[in-house]
Amino acid sequence: MPRLFVAILALVVLTACTTRAANQNIVTSWYGADYVELVEAWGLPTSIEERDDGSRLAVWSEYHAPEPIGPPAFIILDNILPENLRRPRHARETPEKTCEARLFITPDGRVEFGIWSGDGCPPRPARGTS
């Protein structure tokens, strides 16, 4: 039994790392691309920070709220019972997920560098695939 637990844990860790690495590869595929091309593929960023030197930091953020889990009867009871009679929060909801892509844009409008953080969110299109 302990071996099975270790194997499952290793698989979960490797999957999370693969997801982050795959998403970082998507961000990396945009290096050197025109900012307008990036926005056409990804949509407008969640926020943009203008820098004194004319460069910009464009941020795309995704937040996924917790979702109810458990048998339907439990979910209904959790919504109508007073808080002190409900299941503990960790037993009622999946954890929230937040993902963020931060891309640095040069003064002439080219993607210079980018960082992906988080996992569990759908990937954005890689350059040349949208």
Q: Look up the domain containing 18 and give its range.
A: 2-67+94-117
pLDDT one digit per residue (tens) for the chain, 130 residues: 566 544 444 434 334 444 778 889 999 999 999 999 999 999 999 999 999 999 999 999 887 766 666 777 666 676 777 877 766 665 666 666 688 999 999 999 999 999 999 876 777 899 987 5
Number of domains in the chain: 1
Q: Is residue 111 part of a domain?
A: yes
Q: Is residue 59 part of a domain?
A: yes
Q: Is residue 61 part of a domain?
A: yes
Q: Is residue 88 part of a domain?
A: no
93 to each of 21, 22, 37, 55, 99, how far by Cα in Å?
A: 27, 27, 38, 40, 18
CA pair distance 42, 102, nearest whole angstrom: 12
Q: Is residue 81 part of a domain?
A: no
Output the pLDDT for position 12: 42
Q: What is the CATH number of the domain that holds 12?
A: 3.30.1450
Q: Is residue 123 part of a domain?
A: no
Q: Is residue 31 part of a domain?
A: yes
Q: Is residue 129 part of a domain?
A: no
